[in-house]
Amino acid sequence: MAFFPPLVLPHGQVQPYAVRVSTRARYLRIQISAADGVVVVLPSHYPPEQVGVALAARAAWIEKHLQRLQGQRPQELSATEADPEDLPASLSLAAVGQVWAIRHMRSASLNTARLTAAPASRHLYLSHAPEDRDAPRFLLRRWLKQEGERHLFPLLATLAAETGLHYRNVSLRHQRSRWGSCSSQRSISLNAQLLFLPAPLVRHVLLHELCHLREMNHGPRFWALLGGWDPDTPVHREALRRAAWQYVPVFFRGGS
């Protein structure tokens, strides 16, 4: 039986939790409800030794929602990590070495939600009506996609020139389970959330997709080709297994 470490909240309280393994889960997910308390949902392949790290990173979020539960009836409140109230205060785009602060304003007088970027100060100003709970997710994901096109597309073009592996076109999406893909029509699709990853991992993903232009499989010739351009491929492959929960803010995870 796997050992799971205690969950210690920011104010020192040890919080009990249940663990559920799901064959359908792709990432560690935390659910909180008055009926079931804290439940940690794990993918079947998730390393137990990493659970403590993940819980420590989410301890403040867990404590906040447990405090909300006090005095509530079971049917009145439940929380998952996708709660739109959990807007991050800043975004760290490790791929390009940038940190953007978010200033969030709700106003009943606003008819149209908007996001204004101030590149000089690296601030994002987000405003919307209180009842428009979908606006922050939509606007920030759209902004992230625009930034991805601005930074990732030129990087891919540079790597294509270096390797001589030329694609036909490239697109950017919020993909749920892939960092990138390459079609037989020589079209590459990249995940906008790559911007949250360290630059060496981003380079590895882009090289991976470029190598598929020559080898549309994961056979020995593919890995030999990729290893020639990225000698640290084994290290980067292992790091990518943890990258989603380690680097991507909960607010941005998932597709659509």
CATH code where residue 193 lies: 3.30.2010.10
Per the domain annotation, does 85 fall within a domain?
Answer: no
Question: Around Cβ 127, how many Cβ atoms within 10 Å?
Answer: 19
H or E element: which one contains 203?
helix 199-211
Residue 74 has what pLDDT?
A: 42
Given phi > 0 = left and psi -120 to 50 = alpha, else beta, which region is 164?
Answer: left
85 against 12, higher pLDDT:
12
Specify the number of domains making up the chain.
3
131 against 10, higher pLDDT:
10
Residue 48 has what pLDDT?
A: 80
Answer yes or no: do 65 and 22 share one domain: yes
Per the domain annotation, does 137 fall within a domain?
Answer: no
pLDDT above 80: residue 199:
yes
pLDDT-derived band at 155, boundaries 50, 70, 90: very high
Answer yes or no: do 156 and 203 share one domain: yes
Q: ∠ at Cα 138 (149, 255), nearest 5°? A: 70
Q: ∠ at Cα 249 (194, 159), nearest 5°? A: 10
pLDDT-derived band at 160, boundaries 50, 70, 90: very high
**Tens digits of per-residue pLDDT, 30-86?**
888 877 788 888 888 888 878 888 888 888 888 888 887 765 544 444 554 444 446
Token pair listed for 34 = 């008055």
Answer yes or no: do 59 and 121 share one domain: no
Per the domain annotation, does 222 fall within a domain?
Answer: yes
pLDDT above 80: residue 255:
no
Answer yes or no: do 24 and 62 share one domain: yes
Alpha helices in the chain (DSSP H): 51-57, 59-69, 135-163, 199-211, 220-229, 233-247
For residues 189 and 211, give the distance between their C-alpha atoms in angstroms, rounded to a whole number. Answer: 14
Answer yes or no: do 115 and 57 share one domain: no
Residue 256 has what pLDDT?
A: 53
Per the domain annotation, does 175 fall within a domain?
Answer: yes
Answer yes or no: do 169 and 151 share one domain: yes
pLDDT above 80: residue 228:
yes
Q: Show the domain range for 120.
A: 90-132
Residue 172 has what pLDDT?
A: 95
The predicted model scores a pTM of 0.69
DSSP state of 78: E
Chain-centre distance for alpha carbon 251: 8
Nearest Cα to Cα of residue 66 among 17, 100, 103, 24: 17
Burial of 190 (0-12, 13-18, 19+ CB in 10 A): buried
Answer yes or no: do 128 and 158 share one domain: no
112 against 181, higher pLDDT:
181
pLDDT above 70: residue 105:
yes
Answer yes or no: do 154 and 127 share one domain: no
- State how beta strands 14-15 and 169-173 pair: unpaired
Answer yes or no: do 74 and 102 share one domain: no
Residue 151 has what pLDDT?
A: 97
DSSP state of 235: H
Answer yes or no: do 62 and 106 share one domain: no
Instruction: Choose from 65-69, 127-131, 163-167 the range with maximum mean pLDDT.
Output: 163-167
Residue 81 has what pLDDT?
A: 45
Per the domain annotation, does 1 fall within a domain?
Answer: no
Per the domain annotation, does 2 fall within a domain?
Answer: no
